[in-house]
Amino acid sequence: MAFSGMFLRSVPNSIAESHFPTLCLVEGEPMASQIRPSTAPITAPKGAAGAPPVQSVRKPGAAPQAKPVPAGPVRPVATKPTASSAQEVPKVGVPKAGVPKPQTPPSGQPESQERSLGASILGQAPAWAVSMLLHIVVLLSMALVVSEPPKQEEPRLITSTAPEVAEEFEEFEEQPEQPDDAPETNDAVVMSDATIVEDVQVVSTADDLDAAPMSVELTDFSTETAASSDLLSTVGVVGGKGGGLGGRSGAQRQSLVQSGGGNSQSEAAVEAALKWFIQHQLPDGGWSFDLKECPSCQGQCTHGGEGGLAKDRGGATAMALLPFLGRGYTHKEGPYKAQLERGLHFLASMTVAGNGKAYGTGGMMYSQGIAGIVLSESYAMTQDKRLAIPAQLALNYIMAGQDPVGGGWRYSPKQAGDTSAVGWQLMALKSGNLAYLEVSPIVIKKAVEFLNSAQGDDGATYGYTGPGAGPSTSAVGLLCRMYLGWKKDHPALQRGVERLAKMGPSKDLYFDYYATQILHHMEGDMWVAWNAKMRDMLVTSQATKGHETGSWYTGVDGGHGPHAVGRIYCTSLATMILEVYYRHLPIYGQQSVDEDFKE
């Protein structure tokens, strides 16, 4: 309820101030409930008789002003009782017609005053102004809403996963020890799907056997493998030419020993070395550079490796397994099937647990490359599908660890490369390529860029991290060039090989290991002269007494490796040098370089 404008104009302000201080203040409440009674008598001011009524316009929020009051009777108004008055307040009859709602709140209630003021302004504003104001508010609100830009997906490296690895490797569980007279089944499981591959003479009429992998498109390694006849003729345990693994066993091996420059003494030295490795295998199936950790040795053999690198179990196991594969012995064929299966189980399990990383404490990318060779060759020679996943994971780790700028490899993944580490990684990728595993051509091209940056004399020599002519690094670089497609008559290759041949074999087995392979691939008079010196030096320097029988160290301990990783390192390299006649068939016997593995 509200008072009419006529009634307000008929009451002088002075009377309104004293008797109606709270008129029409709170919107929505009855006026009678907001009027406080006053006990002061109502009197007309002097000089007001006969004067016309004066209208008072009170500004919102302004203090009331005293005005002259016109003469005449004043109608009493009933008020709401206060706390001091218990009398009921009668309702006041108020005219309703044509009375605007009062706009002015008292100074004691600012919130009600602001609401009344806002309502008054909105009520008096034209419709177009209200609409414009509303649109402005909406637009400003929308401008304050900040939407995040769409997130750009970062590049991801997709690597192979191994959801069934645990199930596949259940067959590698160790079995109770067997009597000493049955070394072939000691501490190993006979796999239900294992088959013995007998020596078979495979005659191939292909002109380029190493090009066979190109006949199968590189797809998911876990779902497609090469046909048995194709794989065996190319990289299997029998048959094959052109740098493959086909001459490693049976009558083929014996024939290659005789034609390549080996003899019965060199073959006996290889068998003695493999027996020494078996004697120094640890109970968990792996090997250790530190021979004091071997229960059967306990340090009887000297020069067992010292320092941080000696703790690299993955590298030691890989170096111990490589000579067995070079001889043609696997976990499915040969006199050491049980021991080799345990060794592969150790290395494969470490690789899978590391999501491709095949080394642990003390290890580095050198060990990764050697492990990649072992797993890839084992898979290629046996076609054991349990090895497909570990082998591919090891290669994936190598490819992901390449220096994205220079194209090389070194101690840690993505580190700027050195020629020595690059050699091991490229040999692992080549072995994987022969085994029908996935190898990225882009990685190979980047590796070529590194070799270009480290070469001297237009490619006849190579330095460690840049252009140079070190003997060992030059041998590594030239062997890589051979596998990457340089022809036998390449001028830089010819000059480099002649330079190595003039140096001759040395006490640094690392240099000898690479130089021997190069001269064997080149064949001819330089190879014959080199082989005679190299073969005889190793046969005569092999240990023949005590627990060291069959191993190498003294007389071949040049270079840096022997002092760090000791007798296992020297014995591994020396054995593979004596296996050179059949371990890798001559590349240039039948030129064979895949398009995917080519400069």
Among candidate residues 472, 334, 547, the one with its CA nearest the CA of residue 344: 334
User: CA 326, CA 580: separation in Å to the nearest integer?
Assistant: 8
The full length of the chain comes to 599
**Higher per-residue confidence, 78 vs 493:** 493
Quick one: CA torsion of 441, 443, 444, 447, rounded to 10 degrees? 160
How many C-beta atoms surround the C-beta of residue 114 within 10 A?
A: 13
pLDDT score of 144 more than 80? no
Report pLDDT for 406: 97
Q: Are 575 and 274 in contact (CB under 8 A)?
A: yes
Give tens-digit pLDDT for 219-260: 233 333 333 333 333 333 333 334 466 678 777 899 999 999
Instruction: Give phi and psi for 278, each to the nearest 5.
Output: -60, -40
Q: What is the DSSP letter of 292?
A: G
What's the confidence (pLDDT) of residue 316?
98
Banded pLDDT at 560 (limits 50, 70, 90): confident
Given a cut of 80, whether residue 341 has pLDDT beyond it is yes
Lowest mean pLDDT of 10-19, 163-172, 386-395, name the range.
Answer: 163-172
- SS3 (DSSP) at 508: strand
Q: What is the pLDDT of residue 586?
A: 83
The residue ranking higher by pLDDT, 500 or 58, is 500
Question: What confidence score (pLDDT) does residue 138 get?
Answer: 83
CA distance 359 to 463: 26
Report the range out of 44-48, 95-99, 109-113 with the highest average pLDDT.
109-113
Least confident of 20-24, 111-115, 307-311, 511-515: 20-24
- The helix/strand/coil state of 116 is helix
Instruction: Please report which confidence band the pLDDT of residue 276 belongs to, taking 50, 70 and 90 as the band edges.
Output: very high
pLDDT bracket for residue 580 (50, 70, 90): very high
Residue 171 — very low, low, confident or very high, per pLDDT cuts 50/70/90?
very low
Worst-scoring range by mean pLDDT, 251-260, 348-357, 485-494, 501-510? 251-260
Number of neighbours of residue 205 by Cβ within 10 angstroms: 5
User: Does the structure show a pLDDT above 60 at 524?
Assistant: yes
Beta bridge partners of residue 508, listed in sequence order: 557
Out of 26-35, 67-76, 222-231, least confident range: 222-231
Residues with Cβ < 8 Å from 575, sequence gap 6 or more?
269, 270, 273, 274, 323, 326
Residues 490-496 have a mean pLDDT of 98
Examine the pLDDT at 454 and tell me if it is beyond 80: yes
Q: Partners of 456 in the beta sheet? A: 461
16 phi and psi, to 5 degrees? -60, -35
111-125, 287-301, 401-415, 507-521: the lowest-pLDDT one: 111-125
Nearest to 34 by CA among 141, 109, 127, 142: 109
Q: In the prediction, which pLDDT does 544 show?
A: 96
Question: String of b and e for 63-77 (b: at least 16 CB within 10 Å)?
Answer: eeeebbbbeeeeeeb
pTM: 0.63
Mean pLDDT for all residues in the chain: 75
**pLDDT for residue 308:** 87
DSSP letters, 315-367, are: HHHHHHHHHHHHHT--SSSSTTHHHHHHHHHHHHHHHHHTTT----TT--HHH
CA-CA distance, 292 to 266, in Å (whole number)? 29
Mean pLDDT highest for which of 84-88, 302-306, 398-402? Answer: 398-402
Set out the domains of the chain in order of their start, with CATH numbers.
Answer: 1-40+65-110 (no CATH), 207-597 (1.50.10.20)
pLDDT digits 0-9 by tens, 361-373 = 999 999 999 999 9
More confident residue, 571 or 55: 571
DSSP line for 164-189: THHHHGGGG---PPPPTT-GGGTT--
Q: Is the pLDDT of residue 269 over 70?
A: yes
Least confident piece of the model among 153-162, 398-407, 509-518? 153-162
Angle value at C-alpha 437, between 435 and 439, nearest 5 degrees: 120
Higher pLDDT, 539 or 68: 539
Who has greater pLDDT, 145 or 252? 252
Q: Per-residue pLDDT averaged across 176-188, rounded?
A: 36
User: Quick one: pLDDT at residue 154?
Assistant: 60
Q: Residue 322, exposed/middle/buried by CB under 10 A (0-12, 13-18, 19+)? A: buried
517-520 long-range contacts (CB < 8 A, ≥24 apart) are: 517/479, 517/580, 517/584, 518/475, 518/478, 518/479, 518/482, 520/260, 520/580, 520/581, 520/584, 520/586
The sign of the dihedral angle between the CA atoms of 383, 384, 389, 392 is: negative
Of all residues in the chain, the percent with pLDDT exceeding 70 is: 61
Alpha helices in 83-227 (DSSP H): 110-124, 127-144, 165-168
